[in-house]
Amino acid sequence: MAVYNPPLDDMRFMLNDVFNVETFWQSNEKLAHVDMDTVNMILEEMAKLAKNVLLPLNRSGDEEGAQYHGDGVVTTPSGFKEAFEQYAESGWIGLGGDPEYGGQGFPKMVTMLAEEMVFTANQSFALYPNLSVGATLCLLASASEEQKQTYLEKMYAGEWAGTMCLTEPHAGTDLGIIKTKAVPNGDDSYAISGTKIFITGGEHDLTDNIIHLVLAKTPDAPAGSKGISLFLVPKFLVNADGSLGARNTLAAGSIEHKMGIKGSATCVMNFDGAKGWLVGAENTGLASMFVMMNYERVTMGLQGLGGTELAYQNAAAYALDRGQGRSDTQIQSPEKPADSIIHHADVRRMLLNARVNAEASRCFAMYVAKQLDESKFSVDADNAQAAEARVALLTPIAKAFLTDKALEATIDCQQVFGGHGYVREWGMEQIVRDTRIAQIYEGANGIQALDLLGRKIARNQGKYLQNFLAEIRDFVANMLANHEIKQATLDAAATIEELTTTVLANISTRKSEINGCAVDYLHAMGYLCYAFMFAMMVEAAHDKEGAFYSNKLKLATYFVGRILPRLHAHADMVKTGSDPIMDFDLSYFSENVS
């Protein structure tokens, strides 16, 4: 079975030393109930659940997979239902929920660490409660008080699950062309008809009811995305007393056969005049859905982090044990026919690449989580608005960069195993397969890059970025640590600032500039963000004794010399512009394909 020991020491380092969370919590009356003693208990309990309950189901869940039995019946792998019941009964789904409706009110900076451990132990399982959490966020922001009273407590308790039903066979990124219809029934309900695809947890055997949040268009809706409304469509109708009534006219038509996350039921959902209720105002569905998307996209970054952490721990354990060849410096194990491969520099390179990604990803996810908490809980309107702007800028990076680097890290770790990494016995190929999806769903990473460069940079002429750069420079100017990360971070900030000026100048004359340069621009930004995170970690660790802290400084040195130079390669590619991409006739791509 795979190795997983939740990195609680690193999580506490982030909370206490890097972000000084208790001061942050106690300075905000809405978070004053949160303290580190309680958070430590939460982390320790989740660590036990992740390691002892969820991890043992990871491989068996992949091998068995979710099963479609016809007539809309879907079952999850053996053990998932019992694990879900334990998960729900322990209150994990409502950990960050609104206490007014039965949640526990913990901030994202806490819930993200619990989510990380679940994703590390079992990515397929993690998606079921994660979708419920996302649905509750949407309802909390946009639903009527009656809807909140009816649904939220049951969903926080894990008695009912939730989904997001956006994508259709012909409409993925371009939701403005969806065909699902919502026709008024003459009362306060609508008849919802249409087909949705790629619906995570659309049908399963884990809960008594599933609450579908469905994007659809009313008969007189405006064209495009402005005409999208959001509807609450339960699998079972809910009676006035809260009990379950008749089965609604919706069902899973099939489940997808996927590359990874096979224990997660990814469904085709057919709605045949199903009864649903409007959430929020008509034609505001996309805005309602996107209230939760910042949280969900950060959570996808946590999925990438989980894949990295699991891959790293198993690769490191293998490298310490596997004997092949002799060390370049001197024989390390003369009593054995070979030294362990951990003594080979190239193996260390791959492991350190993954370790850099895990620690920088964790720090960056927590940084964005803090901005989410500031925007949600701050009593200072200006502070909340500034945090919301920071979230808008960084969310595409948290989703796309963290998951792109995660796949790279899992492949590096798979490579440590050599041929053993390619066969099922060691579990590494599953980690690679499972992690791959995080780059695709919740807005494919190319779309995240377009959002960053097109909306968050170009649309406001880099205002959000300038504020972020000012924060980075101010932090570095006040650092007490004497470490090369300081100058490296300042240099990275200057490169991004100059690069942004160049891109904004080119956009007016090159129509495809944003589309052609967005991914490389996002990656350059991602490396700047990682540099800032390492600066924060170095500052938190430089004056403390012990190997744990000295290794933080060493890893930052590795990052500066071996990883950060990639920023400049991406910057050069952005400066080259989109012309080399678009300078091919269409006939070039049609050669040998028809």
> pLDDT confidence of 445, banded at 50, 70, 90?
very high
Q: For 427-445, b where at least 16 C-beta lie within 10 A, e where not — what string? A: bbbbbbbbbbbbbebbbeb
Q: What gap in Å lies between CA 45 and CA 114, rounded to an integer?
A: 9
pLDDT tens per residue across span 344-399:
999 999 999 999 999 999 999 999 999 999 999 998 899 999 999 999 999 999 99
Whether 594 shows a pLDDT value over 80: the answer reads no
Q: How many CB atoms lie within 10 A of CB 227?
A: 18
State pLDDT tens for residues 36-56. Answer: 999 999 999 999 999 999 999
Beta bridge pairs of residue 184: 190
Q: Is the pLDDT of residue 291 over 90?
A: no
- Who contacts 329 (Cβ-Cβ below 8 Å, separation ≥6)? 343
Average pLDDT of span 306-333:
90
Round the CA-based radius of gyration of the chain to a whole number and report it. 24
Residues 142, 280 contacting (CB under 8 angstroms): yes
CA distances from 153 to 96, 159, 318 (A): 13, 9, 45
Amino acid occupying residue 340: S
Mean pLDDT over residues 54-61, rounded? 98
Chain mean pLDDT for the chain: 95
Burial 169-208 (b: 16+ CB within 10 A, else e): eebbeebeebebbbeeeeeebbbbbbbbbbbbbbbbebbe
- Say whether pLDDT at 1 is over 70: no
Give backbone dihedrals phi and psi of 449, rounded to 5 degrees, phi first.
Answer: -65, -40
Domain boundaries, the chain: 449-585
Instruction: Please tell me the number of Cα atoms within 13 Å of 463 on its side-chain side.
Output: 7
Bridge-based pairing of strands 250-255 and 266-279 is antiparallel
Cα–Cα distance for residue pair 228/494, rounded to 1 Å: 41
pLDDT, mean of residues 448-457: 96
How far is Cα 77 from Cα 71, in angstroms, rounded to an integer? Answer: 19
Question: Do 93 and 158 contact (CB within 8 A), yes or no?
Answer: yes
Which residues share a beta bridge with 194?
Answer: 271
**For residue range 526-560, what is the model confidence (pLDDT) as tens digits?**
999 999 999 999 999 999 999 999 999 999 999 99
Residue 508 pLDDT: 83
Residue 228 host element (H or E): none
- High-pLDDT (> 70) share of the chain, %: 100
pLDDT band at residue 122 under the 50/70/90 scheme: very high
Tell me what percent of the residues of the chain surpass a pLDDT of 90.
88
Q: Which residues are catalytic?
A: 442
Indicate the pLDDT class of residue 293, thresholds 50, 70 and 90.
Answer: confident
